[in-house]
Amino acid sequence: MLKLGIIGTGAIAHHFVAAAHATKKYQLTAVYSRTMETAKSFAQDYESEVNLYITIEELLASTIDILYIASPNSLHYEQAKSALKARKHVIVEKPAVTRPNEWTDLVETAKEKKVFIFEAARNYHENAFTVIADFLADKDVWGAHFSYMKYSSKMPDLLAGKTPNVFSSRFAGGALMDLGIYPVYASIRLFGSPVDAHYLAHHLPNRIDVNGSGQLIYKDFQVTIQTGKNSHSSLPAEIYTNQGTLVLDSIEHISSAIFYPLQGEPQPLAISKAAHTMLEEVVQFANMIAQPQPDLYESWLLAAQAVHTTLYRMRQTAHIHFEGDLNEDDTSR
Ligand SMILES: NC(=O)c1ccc[n+]([C@@H]2O[C@H](COP(=O)([O-])OP(=O)(O)OC[C@H]3O[C@@H](n4cnc5c(N)ncnc54)[C@H](OP(=O)(O)O)[C@@H]3O)[C@@H](O)[C@H]2O)c1
């Protein structure tokens, strides 16, 4: 049983703990919050004994085995780095970092300290992608269109003139970092690293993107990506091949994939959707710790590196700069 600590007491942390507990492989034992009141309020939903902390140093000095980080994006890197240095396994919410060199550094630190680092990019770990990748193996891919747009619960605040974390430059917010990461992960999971990428954004006054579209450019085809937080899209995802088109109901928590061949009847693929959006990833993380599979783990690390390199390239092309970026033209971070 992995003793689980968490940083960040928002709704997603409860959602994560529910998935983790459902596996019976994790037990919540520690909660960090900026206030004791919030830590108590979070922990009261759980029957087990949970230690509460208002400093990260004390949390990391505790006996937790693994830390789940669900704080605002720009805090992930420093918090993950501290935890790895304290020899805790880390599951960090997406986007794990805001610049690719930060991911490189976290991976090096994890290896040095002999612990695991995982990015909680849940769709990457869906079994549906294995089924889809197997199905595509004998086909030539000619392109894809992946869309993920959801009207944000924070839109009313934004429209009222406030700057919620998810739309802030300080916290590395915006549609691409928040939701665009899912189509980017899907593309890299299925087709590998693109040779280039770009993004055209609708900017807020602080230069953060509220929606946008872009392309991941591969040697022989392109993947079009659409994302946004001020509209809802129910567009399916499509993958175009020399033998027909594969249509997915979504790019995350996929429940159906139907192939429409150039001739003949539609062919549904055998997709089984997990009961909980985070279940497949939490199972895989726990299994990796219990019985390491170095090649598989390395493939996750490399995929994350490719994702963060791509996201960084996309936001540079759209002139999206966060407070923590060195300067507009810097590409070394
Ligand atoms: N995988 C998914 O499906 C999914 C879904 C939603 C979000 N996420 C990810 O989860 C992370 C958190 O998202 P969220 O919407 O929950 O963010 P949030 O509400 O802005 O913040 C999450 C928590 O971080 C702490 N926090 C808030 N503002 C802070 C500040 N100024 N300084 C330090 N700590 C602060 C708060 O906990 P305390 O008050 O207890 O300190 C808060 O509950 C993001 O990286 C997001 O991308 C993932």
Which residues contact residue 137 at a Cβ distance below 8 angstroms, ignoring those fewer than 6 apart? Answer: none
Full residue range of the structural domain in which residue 86 is found: 2-119
pLDDT the model gives residue 327: 53
175 & 94 share domain: no
154 C-alpha to center of ligand 1: Å? 12
The answer to whether 262 and 240 have CB atoms below 8 angstroms apart is: no
pLDDT the model gives residue 324: 83
Question: What is the CATH number for 79?
Answer: 3.40.50.720
Q: Is 65 helix (H, G, I), strand (E, B) or coil?
A: coil
The answer to whether 110 and 189 have CB atoms below 8 angstroms apart is: no
The answer to whether 216 and 189 have CB atoms below 8 angstroms apart is: no
The residue from 119, 139, 161 where one domain ends is: 119
CA–CA gap between residue 227 and residue 180 (Å, rounded): 5
150 C-alpha to center of ligand 1: Å? 17
134 & 112 share domain: no
What is the residue with the minimal CA distance to atom 37 of ligand 1?
8
Average pLDDT of the chain to the nearest whole number? 96
Which residues' Cβ are closer than 6 Å to ligand 1?
8-10, 12, 33-34, 38, 70-73, 75, 93-94, 120, 122, 165-166, 178
214 & 268 share domain: yes
244-248 and 237-241 as β-strands: parallel, antiparallel, unpaired? antiparallel
78 & 132 share domain: no
267-268 and 257-261 as β-strands: parallel, antiparallel, unpaired? antiparallel
The residue from 96, 119, 142 where one domain ends is: 119
72 C-alpha to center of ligand 1: Å? 4
Q: What residue type is 329 in one-letter code?
A: D
The answer to whether 30 and 93 have CB atoms below 8 angstroms apart is: no
Instruction: Tell me the whole-structure pTM to 2 decimals.
Output: 0.96
pLDDT the model gives residue 329: 47
pLDDT the model gives residue 330: 46
Q: What is the mean pLDDT of residues 244-261?
A: 97
The answer to whether 304 and 96 have CB atoms below 8 angstroms apart is: yes
The residue from 119, 146, 168 where one domain ends is: 119
pLDDT the model gives residue 332: 40
92 & 26 share domain: yes
CA 67 distance to own-chain centroid: 16
181 & 228 share domain: yes
Q: What angle do CA 264, 222, 98 make, to 5 degrees?
A: 130
29 C-alpha to center of ligand 1: Å? 19
pLDDT of 6 > 70? The answer is yes
Structural domain count, the chain: 2
pLDDT of 233 > 80? The answer is yes
**Is the bond leading into 95 cis (omega within 30 degrees of zero)?**
yes
Phi-psi bin for 301: left (phi > 0), alpha (psi -120 to 50), beta?
alpha
Which of 235, 252, 244, 256 lies closest to 94, judged by CA?
Answer: 252
Burial class (CB within 10 angstroms; exposed 0-12, middle 13-18, buried 19+) of 318: buried
pLDDT the model gives residue 333: 38
131 & 236 share domain: yes
Dig out the tokens for 56 from the structure: 């990260």
pLDDT tens digits along 12-39 = 999 999 999 999 999 999 999 999 999 9
| Percent of residues, the chain, with pLDDT higher than 70 | 98
pLDDT tens digits along 140-184 = 999 999 999 999 999 999 999 999 999 999 999 999 999 999 999
CA–CA gap between residue 152 and residue 100 (Å, rounded): 26
